[in-house]
Structure 1
């Protein structure tokens, strides 16, 4: 089976304003989402569109333009294309393969506190690509 885009994520500075815009656009944003820092909407195609106002929760290296130490807009990212590879091993293998071809690794593979294994890599145009897999599918606990 060919790899498919799993999620498209946008980093937002103001969740309330972003939710208002996307509701007006026509997305079915769940009620009460204004208090969340991560809001996902499953599209009819199976793709999940998400907004996130606190990406440092799942990417400890993320630097917001409002945080000390931020030098310029290119230091972090505004959007994320996520490709789900199912397992930790598949994420590690794909990351090694892509960096081996010379693509820029942005974050080496790492475990999240919520049971996922992530790695970030830049495509040739500098877009952020998130490779993801489940730790449980790998037989690895999230505490390992």
Structure 2
């Protein structure tokens, strides 16, 4: 019987094609990366709850995995950001789309009781915005 503890999720890692563009996007969502991160091959930021978000350039990944290629056929990963309420979903979506990011799914009242929207980060990853609807129990 194995009595070793189970590993714990420590960070979410994204491979990005343009680090500065990705930093600008995720900073708009409130993630605080250190100043000067644009000049680094690997950067991390603390997230609530103890997780970290790590961004690596494609060149960094290829430095230790030369045959690596970006996945094809859609986004690489999906992230979801909880907003303070339905109006906040609408406001964040509008701010990102106005800044030039692709709005994949306009805010709508989902049947599962949330205001929900999806935008794409600079690499095409789906980034969902959500908040419970006032009449939903969550």
Q: TM-score per shorter chain, which class?
A: 0.3 to 0.5
TM-score by length of 2: 0.45
TM-score by length of 1: 0.44
